[in-house]
Amino acid sequence: MTPFITIKENIDDTFIEKKSTFITKIIRINSEEDARSFIQENKKKYYDAAHVCSAYVIGNNNEITRANDDGEPSGTAGTPMLDVLTKNNIKNVCAIVIRYFGGTKLGTGGLVRAYSGGIINCLKKATLVEKKNAIEFNIDLDYSLNDKIEYEILKTNFIVNNKTYSEKVTYTIFVIEDEEELFLNWLTEITNNNFKILSSRSKQLEFEIKK
C-alpha cells in the first residue's frame, strides 16, 4: 500500500529567480472546498501578483488532483508543482506559488524549475508525517503487573497513551493494525493471560518521518 504522507504544519518559502519573486505556500486540507478557499483567499491577498498557480492532492489514493497554471504557459507551473507532490506521496495538501514578475522571461524550462523548485524547497523545510491505521485498546491489569508492563512495553512499538488507577490499572494502548496479533501474543505472555480487554477501536495515528 502506498504510504499516506502529509505535512505536520503549514509551510512557506520565498526565493528570487532572475528578478522574479516566487512565494510558495503549502497547507494541509481535508476537502476540495478547503483547497479552493485557500486559493481564492490568496488570489485576493496577492491581487497585484502576475500569477497565483496552484496544485492539490486529496485522498489515500490521490482520488482528487488538480493543477492550475493561472496564465503561465500550459504545463509549466501547476503540473510541475503537482508532480513533486505526487512523486513524494504527499497527500491532503494544497500548494500555491505566487509570482511577482521581475521583467525577465525564464523560458519553459526555467518556469518548470522555478515552480517545482518552490514546492521542493517547502518540502525540505517541512516536517512530514505518515498516517497509519491503528487500534486503540483499553485493557485492565492487576496492580502486580504494572511495573512489569511499564518496563517491557518500552522494548516494543506499542504506544501507551493513557493510564488510570481504580480497582485495576487501566491502560490505553495504541497498536499498529498490522501488529494486532503480535500485541495480543505479547500481552498474553507478559501477563500470563491475566488481563481483560475492555474495548478496542480503529484509529489513525501520525508518525513523524525522520529525515
Query: Model confidence over 46-67: pLDDT tens digits?
Result: 999 999 999 999 998 999 999 9
Burial annotation 122-153 (CB, 10 A radius, 16+ → b, else e): bbeebebbebbebbbbbbebeeebeeebeebb
- End-to-end Cα spacing for the chain: 21
pLDDT at 2 over 70: no
Across the chain, mean pLDDT equals: 95
Percent of the chain with pLDDT over 70: 99
**Which runs of consecutive H residues, i.e. helices, occur in 126-179?**
146-152
Q: Give the tens place of pLDDT for each residue, 102-146.
A: 999 999 999 999 999 999 999 999 999 999 999 999 999 999 999
Task: Using DSSP, state whether 181 is helix, strand or coil.
Answer: helix
Q: Looking at residue 204, what is its pLDDT?
A: 87
Q: Give the tens place of pLDDT for each residue, 166-204.
A: 999 999 999 999 999 999 999 999 999 999 999 999 988
Q: What is the pTM of this model?
A: 0.84
Query: How large is the average pLDDT for residues 15-21?
Result: 95
Integer Cα distance of 114 and 109 in angstroms: 9
